[in-house]
């Protein structure tokens, strides 16, 4: 561990994300907020991601004396390039190895850290921390509504395959609006179990932190306060896009992928304002071949410029003839600097899988969304994007989840030129302001972070 971190008298926290992009980003950004409030942070990586993380940690992280963030790898049983598949065997091995390694680390520390902030998907980290008398803060990377749904499901208030659920402090939800693993466990039993495990010992955690903000989920928050001492600390979007208190960080600063920054920004610079459709399905979603082709045709048919992230592992699904056909209108990259893209004035809407980070990023940057949810909590996010926050439209899918090209054209048209576009843009602007206020000095999330930091000082 960095000498700098050890010698400081401020409270020290260990931050443990599940090592996938959508979980690293919010925990890393939260770490930056803590550091800015005089807390020392060690970010725990894993042996399989550590080298990539250090290689890719951009200057916004490692190069600035103002951001002393130490990285310590925990052994997950793999060298560089571990399998990322969510098999039961992998998750069990991850738990065994990483909890042992975490235990060794804490045991070697003197003084002990004030707290372990752990990804809620890794509830066993709390057991390790408690063994050493160290406080645990469970950090939820999904919305409060989704947390509430998991809670109700675990409590038996609805079952799998239910057509409709009526629960307190949220709209009536159809089966297709529910987190996928709650609607049908068979889709991926290990993930279903992982997700439900988030709540197994949360009552013993000292802190319940959620990457959301009060104004966005006010009703559910009021309800939830009777169940857990929830503190919203988000959105964990780099501050340059919100309150600007952490300097000019353009991105999270730590990518497992290789963003094509110049290629995207140079291309966007040549396009008129609000003329580009940005398309990304995040770091994990795998589209079926026929869906990929249909989306490809749909994007072409919209007639708009489009910037589409097709990860390397997905790229063989697009034909070379398609790439030639769209070369005038489209740019396809294997990974984008998503925040810089969303913030670019030429981007008019975002076709998204509605991952929670992507949703919060678009809300924070005021970009209207076309929701094409794929799995996990994404259908619920898509429902809220369209019907509650009214910042986008959701593409209608058939029973198999397939979205036709005509539907892609309809949805993009609605946001780029349709009647709905003006209202959606107005709402998007409103949420952008609200997100900014939440993290600005004295805002709802800022106050919660201050409170957390004050408790860390007391526990130190
Ligand atoms: N992202 C990015 N470039 C891309 C696609 C995604 O930087 O080309 C980032 C995005 O900004 C977000 C994260 O990757 O912070 C994806 O998280 P999300 O929760 O949206 O989806 P997941 O990958 O977990 O499904």
Indicate if 265 and 344 belong to the same structural domain: yes
Tell me if 338 CB under 6 Å of ligand 1: yes
Over pLDDT 90: what percentage of the chain?
82
Q: Whose CA is nearest to atom 24 of ligand 1?
A: 22
Q: Assign 1 a pLDDT band (cuts: 50, 70, 90).
A: very low
20 CA to middle of ligand 1, Å?
Answer: 10
| φ and ψ of 344, to 5 deg | -75, 140
Indicate if 286 and 407 belong to the same structural domain: yes
Read off the pLDDT of residues 210-237 as tens digits, 9 standing for 90 and up.
Answer: 999 999 999 999 999 999 999 999 999 9
Read off the pLDDT of residues 76-98 as tens digits, 9 standing for 90 and up.
Answer: 888 776 666 678 888 899 999 99
- pTM of the model as a whole: 0.95
Q: In testing the pocket of ligand 1, which one of 20, 21, 237 has its CB within 8 Å of the most ligand atoms?
A: 21
Tell me whether residue 252 is in a domain. no
- Whether residue 70 is predicted with pLDDT greater than 90 in this model: the reply is no
Indicate if 339 and 274 belong to the same structural domain: yes
Indicate if 52 and 73 belong to the same structural domain: yes
| φ and ψ of 283, to 5 deg | -95, -10
Over pLDDT 70: what percentage of the chain?
95
Indicate if 430 and 449 belong to the same structural domain: no
Q: Are 35 and 98 in contact (CB under 8 A)?
A: no
Indicate if 308 and 377 belong to the same structural domain: yes
Indicate if 67 and 208 belong to the same structural domain: yes
Domain count, the chain: 2
Tell me whether residue 390 is in a domain. yes
Read off the pLDDT of residues 311-350 as tens digits, 9 standing for 90 and up.
Answer: 999 999 999 999 999 999 999 999 999 999 999 999 999 9
Q: In testing the pocket of ligand 1, which one of 60, 306, 358 has its CB within 8 Å of the most ligand atoms?
A: 358
The CB-side HSE value for 342 (13 A sphere, CA atoms) comes to 29
Tell me if 358 CB under 6 Å of ligand 1: yes
All residues at 6 or more sequence positions from 53 whose CB lies less than 8 Å from its CB, including other chains: 24, 45, 71, 254, 256
What's the rounded mean pLDDT across residues 67-71?
Answer: 78
Range of the domain at 196: 9-245+440-459
What's the rounded mean pLDDT across residues 382-404?
Answer: 97
Tell me whether residue 253 is in a domain. no
Measured CA distances, 184 to 92, 153, 242 (Å):
22, 12, 37
Indicate if 421 and 446 belong to the same structural domain: no
More confident residue, 107 or 253: 107
Indicate if 63 and 174 belong to the same structural domain: yes
d(CA 60, CA 53): 13
SS3 at position 1: coil
Tell me whether residue 319 is in a domain. yes
**Which atom of ligand 1 is least distant from the CA of 255?**
7
Tell me if 265 CB under 6 Å of ligand 1: no
Indicate if 74 and 201 belong to the same structural domain: yes
Tell me whether residue 4 is in a domain. no
Cis status of the peptide bond prior to 235, with omega within 30 of 0? yes
Q: Find, among 42, 41, 72, the residue nearest to 54 by Cα.
A: 72
Indicate if 133 and 226 belong to the same structural domain: yes
Tell me if 357 CB under 6 Å of ligand 1: yes
355 CA to middle of ligand 1, Å?
Answer: 7
Tell me if 350 CB under 6 Å of ligand 1: no
Tell me whether residue 180 is in a domain. yes
Domain of 319: which CATH number? 3.40.50.2000
Mean pLDDT of the chain: 93
Q: In testing the pocket of ligand 1, which one of 17, 22, 249 has its CB within 8 Å of the most ligand atoms?
A: 22
Residue-wise DSSP of 297-328: HHHHHH-SEEEEE--GGGGGGS-HHHHHHTTT
Strand-pair partners of 443: none
What's the rounded mean pLDDT across residues 193-214?
Answer: 95
Tell me whether residue 250 is in a domain. no
Indicate if 336 and 311 belong to the same structural domain: yes
Tell me whether residue 254 is in a domain. no
**Strand pairing of 115-119 and 135-140?**
parallel
């Amino acid at each position: 561990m960095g000498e700098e971190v050890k010698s400081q008298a401020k409270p020290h926290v260990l931050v443990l994300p599940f090592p996938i992009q959508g979980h690293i980003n919010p925990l890393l950004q939260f770490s930056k907020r803590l550091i800015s409030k005089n807390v020392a942070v060690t970010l725990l990586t894993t042996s399989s991601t550590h080298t990539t993380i250090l290689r890719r940690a951009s200057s916004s992280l490692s190069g600035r004396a103002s951001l002393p963030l130490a990285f310590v790898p925990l052994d997950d049983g793999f060298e560089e390039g571990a399998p990322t598949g969510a098999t039961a065997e992998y998750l069990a091995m991850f738990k065994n190895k990483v909890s042992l390694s975490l235990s060794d680390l804490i045991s070697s520390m003197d003084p002990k850290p004030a707290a372990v902030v752990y990804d809620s998907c890794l509830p066993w980290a709390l057991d390790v921390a408690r063994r050493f008398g160290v406080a645990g803060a469970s950090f939820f990377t999904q919305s409060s509504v989704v947390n509430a749904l998991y809670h109700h499901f675990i409590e038996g208030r609805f079952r799998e395959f239910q057509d409709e659920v009526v629960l307190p402090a949220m709209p009536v939800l159809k089966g297709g609006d529910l987190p996928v693993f709650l609607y049908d466990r068979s889709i991926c039993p290990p993930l279903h179990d992982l997700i439900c495990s988030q709540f197994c010992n949360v009552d013993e955690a000292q802190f319940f932190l959620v990457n959301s903000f009060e104004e966005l989920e006010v009703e559910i928050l009021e309800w939830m306060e009777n169940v857990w001492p929830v503190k919203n600390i988000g959105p964990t979007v780099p501050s340059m896009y919100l309150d600007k208190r952490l300097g000019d960080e353009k991105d999270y600063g730590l990518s497992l992928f290789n963003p094509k920054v110049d290629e995207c920004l140079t291309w966007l610079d040549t396009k008129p304002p609000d003329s580009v459709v940005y398309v990304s399905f995040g770091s994990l979603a795998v589209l079926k071949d026929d869906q990929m082709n249909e989306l490809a045709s749909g994007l072409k048919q919209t007639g708009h410029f489009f910037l589409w992230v097709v990860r390397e592992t997905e790229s063989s699904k697009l034909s070379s003839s398609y790439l030639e056909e769209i070369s005038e209108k489209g740019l396809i990259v294997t990974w984008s600097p998503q925040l810089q893209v969303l913030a670019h004035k030429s981007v008019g809407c975002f076709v998204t899988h509605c991952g929670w980070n992507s949703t919060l990023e678009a809300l924070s940057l005021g970009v209207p969304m076309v929701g094409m949810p794929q799995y996990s909590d994404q259908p619920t996010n898509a429902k809220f994007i369209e019907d509650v926050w009214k910042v986008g439209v959701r593409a209608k899918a058939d029973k198999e989840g397939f979205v036709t090209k005509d539907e892609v054209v309809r949805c993009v048209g609605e946001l780029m030129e349709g009647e709905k576009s003006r209202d959606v843009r107005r709402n998007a602007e409103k949420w952008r302001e609200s997100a900014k206020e939440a993290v600005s000095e004295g805002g709802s999330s800022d106050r919660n972070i201050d409170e957390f930091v004050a408790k860390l000082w007391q526990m130190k």
